């Protein structure tokens, strides 16, 4: 007798990965230079040398039992302390090692938070466009996912709808900024307005509504855009972080949950998160990467190549007449489908070996996602295809206007 909800989740194809696999098979036929694959959100800049150097030194110099042995389930003190110090230097966070829980990446950390907040009839609010796994995570914790529509074209937050949809059962609002898939960043003004609203509603409901700040893309921000540290704006914020993107090591699974002292029931919440992780079989985050981060917590990615890709693609698409969300962060452009439907448009693009991810799965069907963590040459080669596609759309639209 099998749990068919879990089966469904395991059997459900991952559209993005399917598209990626299609690209690989297609490349074998038409040649890799003729495939324009913007599907996967996989870092394309190398891991900082300091990270590999630290790992090599640990492997060559440290006693293997100490290096590879169990750490505390919440993480080595030295690693948590180094992360706390970094947060304090950058944001004046007032973080202590005791506020940090090291997880095998941001995803299991987020699930542990959600389970720690799972009470009868609990509701979790997300703002579209949103990372599709949020739905599976919260539903697996027995929580109801409440979606606030995308704020097109600014991709900030529709406060009126947030206020409408907040209920006494709302446990948390998940924020993902810089945003996957939109590549946008919530402004300080947006966050302050949300904080005011949540403060008012928390008082009204008589319990805190937490912000879950899911921030794997925190360091990937361009130009003069600011990524405010949300606990400094709204005390009831729990931060979920990953080193996958900023250190280009998504396969190695190191991340953390930060429960600031400022959060209501901070200590109890931390313990519930630790308990939820324990119940899911969490033992500790990979030891070698915990020990690496002690010397690399301050490392930041070299964004030059991402920024160059971002500019080339953004300028090119804008010049052709595409509507693109303000690309302040992460490594995604979120682009309006010229025919108004990202599903049909992505299909047309696929016919030309241009692989785009429809926004439907992110809760925003009119837009498609373009991941620019790719080779710059591919971007240049792909621009004529983008142009051909929008020109065709314009021609069709013109034709239809003539008909009517």
Strands 354-355 and 332-336: unpaired
Least distance CB 59 / a copy of itself (angstroms) = 5
Phi, psi angle pair for 126, to nearest 5°: -125, 155
| CB of 378 closer than 8 Å to CB of 400 | no
Pick 268 or 319: Cβ nearer a copy of itself: 268
Cβ-contact 234, 211 below 8 angstroms: yes
Nearer to a copy of itself, 108 or 361 (CB): 108
Q: Which of 312, 253, 325 is nearest to 282 (CA)?
A: 253
Q: Which is nearer to a copy of itself, 123 or 336 (CB)?
A: 123
* Cα of 69 vs its chain's centroid, Å: 31
Asked if the bond preceding 255 is cis, omega within 30° of 0, the reply is no
Least Å distance, CB 137 to a copy of itself, is 7
Is 47 or 295 the residue whose CB approaches a copy of itself more closely? Answer: 47
Q: Of 251 and 351, which has the nearer Cβ to a copy of itself? A: 251
* DSSP 3-state of 145: strand
Please give the C-alpha separations between residue 392 and each of 83, 316, 352, in angstroms, as whole numbers: 51, 17, 12
Which residues, including other chains, have CB under 8 Å from residue 386's CB and lie 6 or more apart?
A: 316, 317, 320, 322, 354
Element (H, E) at 358: strand 357-358
Nearer to a copy of itself, 4 or 400 (CB): 4
> Alpha carbon of 122 to those of 134, 143, 268: distances in Å?
14, 5, 18
Q: In the complex, what is the shortest distance from the CB of residue 341 to a copy of itself, in angstroms, rounded to a whole number?
A: 28
Q: How far is the CB of 85 from a copy of itself (least distance, A)?
A: 22
Least distance to a copy of itself, CB of residue 369, Å = 17
Least Å distance between CB 354 and a copy of itself? 22
By beta-carbon proximity to a copy of itself, the closer residue of 6 and 395 is 6
Cβ pair 237, 263 in contact under 8 A: yes
Looking at the Cβ atoms of 251 and 402, the one nearer to a copy of itself is 251
Q: Which long-range contacts (CB under 8 A, 24 or more apart) does 143-151 make?
A: 143/114, 143/117, 143/118, 143/171, 144/169, 146/170, 147/363, 149/363, 150/182, 150/363, 150/364, 150/367, 151/127
- Minimum Å distance from CB 10 to a copy of itself? 3
């Amino acid at each position: 007798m099998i749990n068919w909800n879990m089966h469904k989740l395991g059997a459900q194809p991952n559209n993005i990965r399917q598209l990626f696999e299609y690209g690989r098979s297609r490349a074998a036929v038409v040649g890799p230079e003729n495939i324009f694959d913007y599907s996967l959100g996989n870092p394309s800049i190398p891991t900082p040398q300091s990270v590999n150097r630290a790992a090599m030194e640990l492997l060559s110099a440290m006693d293997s039992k100490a290096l590879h042995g169990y750490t505390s389930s919440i993480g080595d003190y030295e690693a948590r302390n180094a992360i706390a110090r970094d947060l304090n230097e950058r944001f004046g966070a007032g973080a202590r090692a005791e506020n940090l829980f090291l997880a095998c990446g941001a995803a299991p950390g987020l699930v542990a938070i959600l389970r720690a907040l799972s009470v009868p009839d609990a509701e979790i609010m997300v703002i579209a466009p949103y990372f599709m796994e949020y739905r599976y995570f919260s539903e697996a914790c027995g929580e109801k996912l409440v979606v606030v529509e995308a704020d097109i074209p600014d991709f900030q937050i529709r406060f009126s709808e947030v206020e409408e949809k907040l209920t006494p059962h709302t446990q948390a609002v998940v924020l993902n900024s810089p945003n996957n898939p939109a590549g946008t960043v919530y402004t300080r003004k947006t966050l302050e307005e949300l904080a005011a609203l949540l403060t008012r509603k928390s008082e009204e409901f008589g319990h805190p509504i937490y912000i879950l700040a899911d921030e794997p893309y925190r360091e990937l921000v361009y130009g003069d855009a600011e990524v405010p540290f949300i606990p400094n704006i709204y005390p009831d914020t729990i931060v979920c972080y990953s080193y996958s993107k900023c250190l280009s090591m998504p396969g190695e699974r190191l991340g953390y949950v930060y429960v600031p002292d400022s959060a209501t029931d901070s200590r109890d919440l931390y313990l519930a998160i630790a308990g939820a992780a324990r119940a899911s079989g969490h033992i500790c985050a990979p030891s070698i990467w915990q020990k690496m981060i002690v010397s690399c917590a301050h490392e930041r990615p070299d964004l030059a190549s991402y920024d160059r890709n971002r500019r080339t693609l953004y300028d090119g698409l804008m010049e052709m007449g595409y509507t693109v969300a303000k690309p302040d962060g992460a490594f995604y452009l979120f682009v309006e489908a010229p025919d108004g439907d990202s599903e049909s448009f992505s299909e047309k693009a696929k016919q030309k070996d241009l692989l785009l991810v429809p926004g439907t799965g992110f809760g925003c069907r009119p837009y498609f996602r373009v991941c620019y963590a790719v080779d710059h040459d591919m971007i240049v080669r792909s621009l004529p295809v983008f142009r051909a596609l929008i020109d065709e759309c314009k021609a069709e639209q013109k034709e239809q206007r003539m008909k009517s």
